[in-house]
Amino acid sequence: MIEPVSVSFESLKIATLMPMLLAISGGLLILLIDLLKSHLDKSIYIVLSVMFILMDLGSVLSLELNSRGFFDVIFIDGIAMLSQIVILVASMLFIAFAFASNRFHEYQYPEFFALFLFMTAGFQFMVASDNLITIFVGLETASLSLYTMIVLHNKDKSFEAAIKYFTMGAVAAGFYAFGSMILYGLTGSVELYKIFEVLEARNFEPMILVIVSSLFFIGAFGFKLAVVPFHTWGPDVYEGSSAALAGYISIVPKIASFVVVMRIFEQLIHSGVDWIQGVLYAVVVITMTMANIWALIQNDVKRMLAYSSISHTGFVMSAIMIGTTQSNSGIFLYWIMFAFANLGAFAMLWASRKRGIRYHERYDHPFEKFAGMVKLMPLGAVMMGLFMLTLAGIPPFSVFWGKLYLISSAINANYTGLAIIMALNSAIAVFYYLKLVIFMFLKDPVSSLDGSAYMTNASISLKVVLGISAFFTVVSIFFVNPILEMASYFVAMSGF
Amino acid sequence: MNHILTILIFFPALAGLMGFLVDKKSIKPYVVSITLIELFISLYLWYGFNSAEIGMQFVEQANLIEAFGVQYLIGIDGISLFLVILSTFMTLIGVVSISDDTEDLRELLLTILFLEMTMVGVFVVLDAILFYLFWELSLVPMLYIIGAWGGNKRVYASIKFFLYTFTGSIIMLVGMLYMAYLYYQASGTWSFSLLEWYRLQLPLDYQIWLFVAFFLGLAIKVPMFPFHTWLPYAHGQAPTVGSVILAAVLLKMGTYGFIRLSLPLYPDATVYFLTPIAILSLIMIIYTAMVAYAQKDLKQLVAYSSISHMGVIILGIFALNPEGITGSIFLMISHGIVSGALFLLVGVIYDRRHTKMIDEFGGLASVMPRYALIFGIMAMASVGLPLTIGFVGEFLSLVGFYKYSHIMGIIATGTVVVGAIYMLSAYKRTFFGKVVNSENSKLSDLNLREYLTLIPLTILVIVLGIYPKPILKPVDESVKAIISLMHQKAVTEEAKKIIPNIKIGEEARK
């Protein structure tokens, strides 16, 4: 006779689960409203989503640091807190894009917003756990929602993108499962802290299995983060998604993956498994350099931004490879700074979307589209130019401070060679960002176009988001210190 | 006068932002008055400057990124004082020289105001990150000026300019971060303050690597041979005002960087690299002078002569004695005035004939006598004729360098002759002889706007050529302070021997 399992409700600490529950119930509520009364205007869903994300954010902020809950699968440490805040704030800014002036297919479906909230919850599960199974569940929840959201854009290209992303994502999920399986087989646990306890106790023997499982993890997160050579889906997916969603894909899923990668690999790197560090070093350098070179030859602004964000990912991955507290807080500084600039750049693309006008038979946003923009739409051109210079890392705009801090952390950890590679890559990157600036400021407009296309999709809320990002990128110098102090505090609290 | 430097940096930028509200028709008077006010503020700074005091003056300090040691730290000494005045003065001249019928006049003028902010910023900040910030930021307005108002190949020229300087300076940034790391290891706190870094003594091998990293960034900006290839393009394509500011001020950032960063931070590495750098500068002087002689385009000729003179400045700096460095700083100022004036003069003729080819001209002296006179004075100053501004700096730099190495000093002095050859032959071909081309016979002489820009420059060329002391005195004090710091900091015997031990301040007066 088995004893009945009795778990007291208090011991569950349901509060740790509260943020995700809020997001999920928000999604369910939206579906319910649609069931009761369909064909409502999108604005109600947008506002509801924003409100639920706000509540979500509130409950994240009220969480107790370094606590576990819900059968100990939820683990709220510093980086879990920090990354959830970043994810939620970015999500909130991106959902405001739905207030576009033009009617777009995907926003007519309430399911889009429900999926959006489910996805947010998925990312939160991913970062707020050190249990391999919970991470997997979060990863898949988020990814499946994302695939569907891409395809809702309802263009040939978006079907292609979604299928491509889905297939690659399935492979990545397989890799992840294999990697976890090996770790479970070695240690009999799916909780990372226990796994590493056991592994350290026997000095990482048998080494070959540890290495194989890390290879699987590198593969899995290589796909998710789109690092070279797992990047091939990236540019096509960016191109197929709407600019708003592409901006989202370039920021939020990646920060969630960074956190998981940090949890898995920091321990391995610090316990002297040199081989893994070597592989990561190679991946980082190749990702940064190759993506930059590919970005140089793109004819489409969105594809260029896709490759450039792969390069930025490589830049940030180097921090994980370095693995000091400084570099790990640098990840958050860099990503927050990058998020605002990238948000602004994609918002500008989104604003310039006009249905029925094709500038190029192949591309939606060819460089020619922006030729001479300063003459037709000076303010828009200045904004876009600002975001390009920011992404290029020109001081004093936001991304520069992230670069500065990461390069410095590379130097401090005695990776001077890597620091120089990072610096040179920044110099290469300047070229393709400047290309757009040159088209906008130094070339004459293509005669057949008038200026009406550039801001046609800009609604008030979009302009507000643009204003916020532009303001933040310009005065970011005053935000660096508070962000850095917060990030260092949280990262140090979690022991990375 | 507590916050005068902050005002000096940000006033043009603020006025530039406000400028978007000013009507297009009245934008030029607006910008001229702003730059005039800025010039007066910088002159007031000179008035308040105490040249007997050693060290930085008008210092302001505030924390920007406390966790990482980045500060808002600004202050000036005798060296930066005159470079600031040069910037504000040449900006005013450049702004006045722009004609009213320029396309997109407002954008051009406001861009110049932003450029002025970055130029003043570079010369007054004392924090490495802030220095880098203004240094890089200055590329953006210049990119726009060359790229939007330049000649046919303007886009190519502007990108080349940007990429070249950016690549060099990002290596310098890595050097700065490494330096900060070394400082952190030595002191336990993060700081990018140059004044703190000056106190750090480093072993020679560290110094060598850091010197190389800084050298790349600074040498490309100067531009030193063999990194000079971006400059002729930039000058050739830039509009007149762009060339004036580029030659007069932006190039000085590089040489200023050598004096402010490389020399006092890495005295031993400076001595270690002395001979190679001196050889590079000699090649730079002779080679670019020869290239200048071969030019058919008057503006390219001025551009190459400008590079050639930058070589003399570098030589003076690496003489590592008070005469050489003081001379090179004076030469920076005189080069700013003279090359700025020469570019203005080329612009004058280009406005009338829309060509810069020397072959197209000839006998201009009879058609435009006043223009020919001013051009002649400037050409003499560029050659370094005694009693013009060009003589003082060149003479002091060469004397300083002669002290270090007699042979190279003599060779360097010989190069001045080469400089005279191309300048005088170009002058002869342009102004003397008969008017061959009938189009030239109807050219009008200078107009009021051109007088307004050229007369002040001419007066300065002669006055400072005869009586340079008001500038030399304060500069000399600050230079001595830097050299004595270098001597104290040097760790190798050789450096102690080459860098003279100079008494400064109270000790000197005893």
Inter-chain residue contact B159 with A431, CB threshold 8 Å: yes
Pairing of strands A74-76, B57-65: unpaired
pLDDT number for residue A98: 78
At residue B301's C-alpha, the angle toward residues B365 and B353, to 5°, is: 50
Nearest to A416 among B143, B166, B178 (CB): B178
User: Residue B99: how many CA atoms within 13 Å on its side-chain side?
Assistant: 15
List all residues 6 or more positions away from A137 whose beta carbon is below 8 Å from its beta carbon.
A122, A125
Model confidence at A151, pLDDT cuts 50, 70, 90, reads confident
pLDDT number for residue B181: 92
CA-CA distance, B163 to A426, in Å (whole number)? 11
- Helices (DSSP H) in B103-239: which residue ranges? 105-124, 128-137, 139-149, 154-187, 194-197, 204-221, 230-237
Inter-chain residue contact A411 with B133, CB threshold 8 Å: no
CA-CA distance, A235 to A246, in Å (whole number)? 10
CA-CA distance, B97 to B95, in Å (whole number)? 5
Specify whether the CB–CB gap between B257 and B265 falls below 8 A: no
Q: What is the mean pLDDT of chain A?
A: 87
pLDDT number for residue B455: 92
Min distance B187 CA to chain A CA atoms (Å) = 14
pLDDT number for residue B129: 92
Query: What is each CA distance from A423 to A55, A307, A456, A493, B356, in whole angstroms?
Result: 41, 18, 38, 30, 40
pLDDT number for residue A292: 92
pLDDT in tens, A458-492: 778 788 888 888 999 999 889 999 999 999 998 88
Pairing of strands A74-76, A67-69: antiparallel
Count CB atoms within 10 A of the CB of residue A103: 9
pLDDT number for residue A153: 82
CA-CA distance, A288 to B485, in Å (whole number)? 42
Specify whether the CB–CB gap between A398 and A341 falls below 8 A: yes
pLDDT in tens, B418-471: 888 888 988 988 888 888 777 777 888 888 888 999 999 999 999 999 998 888
Best CA proximity match to A248, nearest among A450, A445, A95, A32: A95
Inter-chain residue contact B181 with A408, CB threshold 8 Å: yes
CA-CA distance, B274 to A106, in Å (whole number)? 67
Specify whether the CB–CB gap between A398 and A337 falls below 8 A: yes
Output B99 or A353, whichever has higher pLDDT. B99
Nearest to A484 among B68, B132, B163 (CB): B68
Cβ-Cβ contacts under 8 Å, B173 against chain A: 404, 407, 423
Min distance B462 CA to chain A CA atoms (Å) = 40
- Tell me the residues of B at the A interface, defined by beta carbons under 8 Å apart: 63-68, 70, 129, 132-133, 136-137, 139-140, 143-144, 147-148, 154-155, 158-159, 162-163, 166-167, 170-171, 173-174, 177-178, 180-181, 184
Min distance B158 CA to chain A CA atoms (Å) = 9
pLDDT number for residue B510: 56
Give me the amino acid identity at B240: T
At residue B288's C-alpha, the angle toward residues B282 and B293, to 5°, is: 130
Min distance B360 CA to chain A CA atoms (Å) = 30
Place of tokens 């060296």: B79
Output A333 or A275, whichever has higher pLDDT. A333
Nearest to B181 among A411, A437, A485 (CB): A411
Give me the amino acid identity at A368: E
Cβ-Cβ contacts under 8 Å, B182 against chain A: none
CA-CA distance, A367 to A439, in Å (whole number)? 7
How large is the average pLDDT for residues A359-374? 78
List all residues 6 or more positions away from B428 whose beta carbon is below 8 Å from its beta carbon.
none
Pick the residue from chain A with its C-alpha nearest to B67.
Answer: A481
Min distance B232 CA to chain A CA atoms (Å) = 20
Best CA proximity match to B254, nearest among B156, B180, B336, B189: B336
pLDDT in tens, A292-335: 999 999 888 888 999 999 999 999 999 988 888 889 999 999 99
List all residues 6 or more positions away from A426 whose beta carbon is below 8 Å from its beta carbon.
A392, A393, A403, B170
Q: Residue A446 region, left (φ>0) first, then alpha (ψ -120 to 50), else beta?
A: beta
B190 phi/psi in degrees, rounded to 5? -85, 135
Model confidence at A358, pLDDT cuts 50, 70, 90, reads low
- The encoded tokens of residue B265 equal 């931070």
Substitution target in B17, B173, B185 with the highest count of A β-carbons within 10 Å is B173
pLDDT number for residue A455: 66
pLDDT number for residue A367: 82
How large is the average pLDDT for residues A19-28? 92
- Burial class for B225, CB neighbours closer than 10 Å (0-12, 13-18, 19+): buried
Nearest to A427 among B65, B68, B170 (CB): B170
Report whether pLDDT(A145) > 60: yes
Q: Give me the total of CB pairs closer than 8 Å, taking one residue from chain A and one from chain B.
A: 92
pLDDT number for residue A313: 92
Model confidence at A156, pLDDT cuts 50, 70, 90, reads confident
User: What ranges do the domains of chain A cover?
Assistant: 13-354+361-493
- ipTM score for this prediction: 0.89
Inter-chain residue contact B173 with A423, CB threshold 8 Å: yes
Nearest to A396 among B133, B147, B167 (CB): B133
pLDDT beneath 70: ranges in chain B: 1, 505-510
At residue B119's C-alpha, the angle toward residues B446 and B43, to 5°, is: 70
The percent of residues above 70 in pLDDT, for chain A, comes to 95
The pTM score is 0.92
Give me the amino acid identity at A351: A
Helix or strand or coil: residue B127?
strand
DSSP B368-418: -HHHHHHHHHHHHHHHT-TTSHHHHHHHHHHHHHHHH-HHHHHHHHHHHHH
Nearest to A411 among B148, B170, B177 (CB): B177
Helix or strand or coil: residue A13?
coil
DSSP B42-93: HHHHHHH--TTS-S-EEEEEEEEEGGGTEEEEEEE-HHHHHHHHHHHHHHHH
CA-CA distance, B15 to B17, in Å (whole number)? 5
Specify whether the CB–CB gap between B255 and B264 falls below 8 A: no
Specify whether the CB–CB gap between A319 and A343 falls below 8 A: no
Specify whether the CB–CB gap between B270 and B318 falls below 8 A: yes
Report whether pLDDT(A449) > 90: no
CA-CA distance, B161 to B153, in Å (whole number)? 12
pLDDT number for residue A40: 80
- Tell me the residues of A at the B interface, defined by beta carbons under 8 Å apart: 389, 394-396, 400-401, 404-405, 407-408, 411-412, 416, 419-420, 423-424, 426-427, 430-431, 434, 437-438, 441-443, 477-478, 480-481, 484-485, 488
Inter-chain residue contact B67 with A404, CB threshold 8 Å: no
Helix or strand or coil: residue A339?
helix
Min distance B150 CA to chain A CA atoms (Å) = 10
pLDDT number for residue B506: 62
Query: What is each CA distance from A224 to A4, A129, A256, A269, B435, in whole angstroms?
Result: 41, 18, 10, 21, 74
Inter-chain residue contact B181 with A430, CB threshold 8 Å: no
At residue B338's C-alpha, the angle toward residues B337 and B341, to 5°, is: 85
Nearest to B177 among A407, A443, A477 (CB): A407
Specify whether the CB–CB gap between A24 and A117 falls below 8 A: yes
Q: Residue A356 region, left (φ>0) first, then alpha (ψ -120 to 50), else beta?
A: left
Place of tokens 């060329």: B461
Cβ-Cβ contacts under 8 Å, B137 against chain A: 394-396
Report whether pLDDT(A117) > 90: yes
At residue B217's C-alpha, the angle toward residues A312 and B241, to 5°, is: 100
How large is the average pLDDT for residues A56-85? 87
List all residues 6 or more positions away from B327 whose beta carbon is below 8 Å from its beta carbon.
B316, B392, B393, B394, B395, B396, B397, B398, B399, B400
Pick the residue from chain B with its C-alpha nearest to A392.
Answer: B166
Best CA proximity match to A306, nearest among A254, A250, A353: A250
Pick the residue from chain B with its C-alpha nearest to A412.
Answer: B181
